[in-house]
Amino acid sequence: MRRRYLPQKPHGEIPGQKQLAGSFDPGIILRKAAKRLNCDLSRLLKSGRLSGLEKDQRDLLIYLIWKTGRLTNARIGALFAVTYSSVSHNVKAAKSKLKQDPKLRAKFNVLNSQFKI
């Protein structure tokens, strides 16, 4: 969306463009979100294959970063040591679980409300 709707160089008098085009450090958001979820971020970032609660937590973090629209799937994948295709699958899984699981949806809503992205 940024590539499509924002000019290459943000207009100096439009603060929203400057804010959206500004730098974005997903590490800060991931650390705060992992702390809020009470999970081991270093394990989630380095383990390619996870199951159970850890997989749900990682999928939720991936979805949180993906939903910002500020990073490509390849860049998100590099953060989590997975392929860009895996990011797509994780996002799809997170969306499905968020629809079905009210507890997970509540966790995501809390996370999403914590960050101005």
User: How many degrees, rounded to 5, is the angle at CA 60 between CA 51 and CA 22?
Assistant: 140
Confirm if 111 and 37 have CB atoms less than 8 A apart. Answer: yes
**Whole-number Cα distances in Å, 22 to 15, 25, 66, 75, 88:** 10, 10, 17, 17, 25
β strands within 3-116, DSSP E = none
Look up the CATH superfamily of 25-114.
DnaA protein, C-terminal DNA-binding domain (1.10.1750.10)
Residue 51 CA to residue 87 CA, distance in Å, equals 15
Q: How confident is the model at residue 20 (pLDDT cuts 50, 70, 90)?
A: low
- Boundaries of every domain in the chain: 25-114
Ramachandran region of residue 52, left (φ > 0), alpha (ψ -120 to 50) or beta? Answer: left
pTM of the model: 0.74
pLDDT in tens, 30-72: 888 888 888 888 888 887 777 788 888 888 888 988 888 778 8
